[in-house]
């Protein structure tokens, strides 16, 4: 392997901080991963809710009281925000994979767009389903 490129490679985002300047693109990509894991946590709550509903009215009422409290609303809203952000972020990765949206300006607007869209969806969820 005489002419394999060694040493002259792009830096990994693992080095964020001292060696690698944080950018909208890399930070938003890391947030996609974090929000994905948050959604896994949220699915525990959703599945538990379905499970208690399938078991008995007493179990349902006990768990539902927690889920429908202000704290439960907060958790669900955070979950909705993360879910929306994650979907859009993953969609962005698909677009990148297929070779679109590579221009820095476009990629950065998508990063901001994801934040805005997730916030709008969370706000709409609050208005439509929780604020009543």
Partner 1 sequence: MQRYLTDRKRAVGLGSGRAGTEHHWKMMVSSMAIVVAAPVFFILFALGYQLPYAEATAYFGHPAVAITLAVTMVIIIRHVMNEAIEAAEDYVHGTAGQLTIVGITWASYLLMIVGLFALARMAI
Please report whether residue 33 would count as binding partner 1 according to CB under 8 A.
Answer: yes
The binder of partner 1 chosen from 31, 83, 107, 118 (CB under 8 A): 83
Question: Is residue 36 at the binding interface for partner 1, with CB under 8 A as the rule?
Answer: yes
> Which own/partner contact pairs does 123-127 have at CB distance under 8 Å and 24+ positions apart?
125/76, 125/77, 125/80, 126/73, 126/77
Nearest CA to 45 out of 94, 80, 9, 91 is that of 80
Q: Supply the minimum distance, in Å, between the C-beta of residue 45 and partner 1.
A: 11
Contacts of 16 (CB under 8 A, 6+ apart): 22, 26, 27, 30
Site residues, partner 1 (CB under 8 A): 1-3, 33, 36-37, 39-40, 43-44, 46-47, 49-51, 53-55, 57, 60-61, 64, 67-68, 80, 83, 86-87, 90-91, 93-94, 97, 125, 128-129, 132
């Amino acid at each position: 392997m005489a002419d394999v490129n060694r040493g002259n490679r792009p830096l990994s985002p693992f080095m964020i901080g001292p060696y690698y300047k944080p950018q909208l693109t890399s930070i938003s990509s890391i947030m996609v991963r974090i929000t994905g894991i948050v959604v896994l946590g949220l699915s525990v709550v959703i599945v538990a809710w379905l499970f208690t509903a399938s078991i008995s009215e007493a179990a349902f009422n006990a768990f539902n009281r927690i889920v429908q409290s202000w704290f439960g609303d907060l958790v669900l809203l955070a979950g909705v925000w993360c879910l929306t952000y994650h979907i859009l972020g993953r969609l962005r990765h698909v677009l990148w994979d297929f070779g679109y949206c590579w221009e820095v300006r476009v990629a950065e607007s998508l990063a901001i767009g994801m934040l805005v869209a997730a916030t709008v969806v969370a706000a709409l969820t609050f208005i439509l389903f929780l604020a009543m």
